[in-house]
Structure 1
Amino acid sequence: MSKKNKSKNTNGTIAQNRKARHEYFLEERFEAGVSLQGWEVKSIREGKINISDSYVFIKNGEAFLLNAKIQPLNNASTHVVCDAERSRKLLLHKRELNKLIGLTERDTYTLIATAMYWKACWVKLEFYLAKGKKSFDKRDDIKDRDWSREKERMMKHSHR
């Protein structure tokens, strides 16, 4: 008999940060591997992760994921200390790190985690180079979205 996949998601997406597109201007996309412990991988397979407030921080030439909450499983090993909010190292090439260091230090960009997903058997993190939006920028986006929705409705009714 074959095992059935009990995964809740079928396309490989583990977690998303939907609020990021509303809060920031997302400019350039990056992908990085995440260094995880065994209990974290088991929890991620069960879908017990939240990256809604997480961001990437660069320190001493290395990138780390901060504020990602991985809830430990009840049946985790007793001899392992599970820290749900520990910083996790991101695996990037040196030239990508140098580029990110330059942009975050000089041009006041931030690095916002937007999605975590499976790529083959590896957990990958998608993050963007971003600048924060002001409140009037957010209102303009909402106004544009409403107008495009209204325009679609008018076009749909005019073709009838």
Structure 2
Amino acid sequence: MADKKSKKNTKQQNATIAVNRQATFEYSIEERFEAGVVLEGWEVKSLRDGRIQLKESYVVIRRGEAWLSGAHISPLLSASTHVNPDSIRAKKLLLHRHELNKLIGSVERKGYTLIPLKMYWKNGRAKLEIGLAKGKQLHDKRATSKDRDWQREKGRILKKG
């Protein structure tokens, strides 16, 4: 029994599939949500191989449902021989109704944006972390860059001293 658990833990250590690094630079993240993703079989196989790009993707709300648009999943040549894969099709996101209502209110009334932050495996299922975010101005980006540089420099000073 202990052998099965150790095998599972080693498999779960590399649970992150993709990270949208540009998101934290372009936006200030107010709140994070975890959403399930409705995928086709060939998409799951491609995700297991790490073939997804979240950089230019975004989340839209249509008719009370959340959809992931612009995420590019490259099809595997061996896995998608019998289907015609659409690599940038919109994927439905699975959220609780109260979470959806909160997101709809924030996006429509308060001017927030929904952006995908990270995709990862959780209990064998692909999950997407989405962020409720506000866009940063140029001066905000400069301040973030300055803070990051200062933290790095401070670490170096403390390490020497």
Q: Same fold (TM over 0.5)?
A: yes
| Cα distance in 1, alignment partners of residues 23 and 80 from structure 2 | 34
Partners of 1:8 and 1:130 in 2: how far apart? 32
| 1:52 to partner: Cα distance | 1.4
- Summarize the alignment of residues 51-130 of structure 1 with structure 2, pairs less than 5 Å apart: 51-130=54-133
Deviation of 1:75 (Å): 1.4
Alignment RMSD (CA, Å) = 1.9
Gaps of 5+ in 2: 1-6
Matched residue of 1:19: which SS? helix
* Aligned pairs, number: 154
TM-score by length of 1: 0.90
- 1:26 maps to 29
Per-residue CA deviations over 1:1-43 (Å, capped at 9, x if unaligned) read: xxx99x9983300111011111100010100000000010011
Letter of the 2:47 partner, please give it.
I
Check 1:138–1:8 CA distance in 2 against 1; reply closer, same or farther (3 A cut). farther
Match of 1:41 in 2: 44
Q: Which residue number corresponds to residue 4 of structure 2?
A: none
**Structure 1 segments unaligned to the other structure (5+ residues):** none
Question: What amino acid maps onto 1:47 in structure 2?
Answer: G
AA at the equivalent of 1:31: E
Cα distance, 1:73–1:115 mapped onto 2, change above 3 Å: same
After superposition, the Cα gap between the structure-2 partners of 1:68 and 1:28, relative to the gap in structure 1 and judged at 3 Å, is same
Q: TM-score, normalised on structure 2?
A: 0.89
Asked if the contact 1:8–1:47 (Cα under 8 Å) also holds between the matched residues in 2, the reply is: no
Structure having the higher helix fraction is: 2
Letter in 1 for 2:62: K
